[in-house]
A and B are shown apart, each in its own frame.
Chain A
Amino acid sequence: MSRSMLPSYTRSVAVIAAIGLCLGFAFSNARLDTYSALLPLFEWMETTSLGVIGKTWGAVFATVEAVHLLAMAVLGGSVLVSDGRLLCLIFNDVPQRQVQDACHRLFVWSLLLSISTGVFMACGVAIKVYYLNVFWYKMLALMVGVVFVFFVRQPLLRHDIDRLNPWVLRMVAVASLMIWFSVAATGRWIGFSG
């Protein structure tokens, strides 16, 4: 019984284990130790050529910021359409598979662009963001979002979507909207803090 049950619920067990590890990390000294250990990395980031360019040329920094915003706009659009379809709010006459595949391709490209521009921006103001709580909340939300998309959402949507429980799809869509809204909103708040 136990031998046959465990392999069939590998992903669920892995998700529970990951949540347990995250909670353990958050409520132990490991979090503070990691935070302290990351300071040299952020100090180094400011000394890299990306950091120097970001600090020296305001126009370059602002342009990259705008590209970051545009990439986030495309990411937002793809998330809205994809989750809107899962919630049966949009494109109900277009097969789920077509909408989800097209949205995911766009999502991956926009995510790559927003992460690469985000790294440049973080290099320019590394020490400032290191001491901002909201920056870490954003990083946490981003990591959760990426893990959620690639290890939970996509594996789910690779199955025959029409045979999946519609309530599970709705839950996934709502969670996806929540997490990407949080990524965008906390990202905007970084600009106001510090």
Chain B
Amino acid sequence: MRLNLRIWRQAGPEDKGRLVAYRVDDADEDMSFLELLDVLNEKLVLDGDEPVAFDHDCREGICGACSMVINGQPHGPQKATTTCQLHLRHFRDGESITIEPFRAAAFPVVKDLVVDRGALDRIVASGGYISAPTGAAPEAHATPVPKANADRAFTAAACIGCGACVAACPNGSASLFVGAKITHLGELPQGQPERSDRVVRMVETHDAEGFGGCTNTGECTVACPKEIPLDVISQLNRDYLHATTGGRRTA
């Protein structure tokens, strides 16, 4: 199949960047979207051009590295699918495809489609953990966790940290990402001691990193390749309200 691509090219953070048109004539519908870029890059290299830089690693939808916006949708048109698992059978022969980086002030472009998502790590560093130093753990069965809580914790913990929620949000908010971690740890008995502190610190860092505020447009959960539900943001709000008004905050 033949595809017309318009790809964002930007040499570095200071470069202004622009969309450049490319045509790939020998795409195959069994190819993944990243394999399409591989094919294009092989050609570009042999033609003496610079290949398109893009983040990718596991190529099985779990590492969260791949990050592009395809025809305006983070990870492309296929529901619950990362770019690396998106296959060309979902596109028409001759289709035009625009490929852009994730757009957010908190995700500065490094090069072409590669952005810096370190802000998400810094949010986690500010409180997205349970303090359990190695060696200090009690026996695993000492604290049973009701299955419903464990299941909800898991659903939230499935977040791969790709940042598609931020890319999709018209406010550039990372609330779904923060809410997922708050919900994951807040559903578990092990997460209770730090629950209030965690939410306050994570929200502070979220705001300081330059992410926008949530206005419940719901576009994040539509874009999320792991279908993290919107109610994790409700949980975030509730925990925050509780932490800032209920006096549960310990520090």
Is B one of A's binding partners?
no
Query: Which residues of A are in contact with B by a Cβ distance under 8 Å?
Result: none
